[in-house]
């Protein structure tokens, strides 16, 4: 088992634990990560969660990569030997919505653009493509307002740490 402290990420230890635990909850499957960041941390944590539990699954991750080159980010997934679990998509999440519209994801993690409009649009896409959605940086007012306005507060809140909230759809 990987020591999660060894996974570079723009995430707290508690955020990391949540992402690493997701495959156990879903039993594997297809995930979508919005916002790969400098080290691809959230993506790698989900991939490690799959690999170290022998679960099959795959992660699509989107980022503009305007600050970090995808091939530099890929060095970290190579280090953790999880490249085969990951497909990296370059561009804004809004640009990828059409290409991903026919997919269903067992989990979506939203940590891309933190402007209100972007977080709200990502939430709207996620709510029609998954029953399990995580948001990062929920302590930021514009992210928390997007969460509030998205309607997802009607879902069940299953994780709530300082900067991460995960909601599960309540079946009717
Ligand atoms: C906070 S970082 C993500 C950190 C990452 N989840 C981790 O675990 O380390 C946010 C990322 O979102 C990307 N980003 C910003 N706006 C975006 C958008 N509209 N679509 C996709 N990615 C975006 C940025 O390039 C940045 O790399």
Rounded Cα–Cα distance for residues 76 and 128 (Å): 31
86 lines ligand 1 (CB under 6 A): no
12 lines ligand 1 (CB under 6 A): no
Q: Ligand 1 atom closest to Cα of 19?
A: 8
Q: What is the mean pLDDT of residues 65-83?
A: 96
What is the model's pLDDT at position 148? 98
Tell me the pLDDT tens digit for each residue of 87-109.
999 999 999 999 999 999 999 99
Q: Ligand 1 atom closest to Cα of 10?
A: 9
What is the model's pLDDT at position 172? 64
Tell me the pLDDT tens digit for each residue of 23-61.
999 999 999 999 999 999 999 999 999 999 999 999 999
Is the pTM here over 0.95, yes or no?
A: yes
**Phi-psi map region of 144: left, alpha, beta (phi>0 left; psi -120 to 50 alpha):** alpha
Residue in this structure with the two tokens 């561009």, named with its chain if needed: 91
Tell me the pLDDT tens digit for each residue of 135-170.
999 999 999 999 999 999 999 999 999 899 999 999
Show the domains of the chain with their CATH numbers: 19-168 (3.40.50.150)
What is the model's pLDDT at position 108? 98
- Taking the centre of ligand 1 as the mean of its atom positions, its distance from the CA of residue 148, in whole angstroms, is 21
- Please, what is the average pLDDT of the chain? 97
10 lines ligand 1 (CB under 6 A): yes
């Amino acid at each position: 088992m990987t020591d999660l402290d060894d996974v570079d990420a723009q995430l707290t230890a508690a955020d990391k634990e949540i992402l690493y635990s997701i495959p156990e909850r879903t039993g594997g499957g297809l995930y979508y990560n919005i916002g790969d960041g400098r080290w691809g941390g959230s993506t790698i944590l989900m991939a490690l969660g799959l690999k170290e539990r022998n679960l099959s699954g795959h992660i699509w991750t989107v980022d503009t990569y305007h600050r970090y080159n995808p091939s530099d980010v890929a060095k970290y997934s190579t280090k953790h030997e999880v490249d085969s679990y990951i497909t990296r998509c370059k561009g804004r999440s809004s640009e990828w919505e059409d290409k991903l519209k026919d997919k269903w994801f067992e989990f979506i993690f939203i940590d891309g653009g933190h402007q209100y409009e972007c977080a709200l649009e990502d939430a709207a896409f996620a709510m029609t493509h998954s029953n399990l959605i995580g948001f990062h940086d929920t302590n930021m007012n514009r992210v928390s307002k997007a969460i509030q306005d998205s309607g997802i507060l009607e879902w069940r809140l299953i994780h709530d740490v300082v900067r991460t909230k995960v909601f599960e759809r309540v079946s009717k």
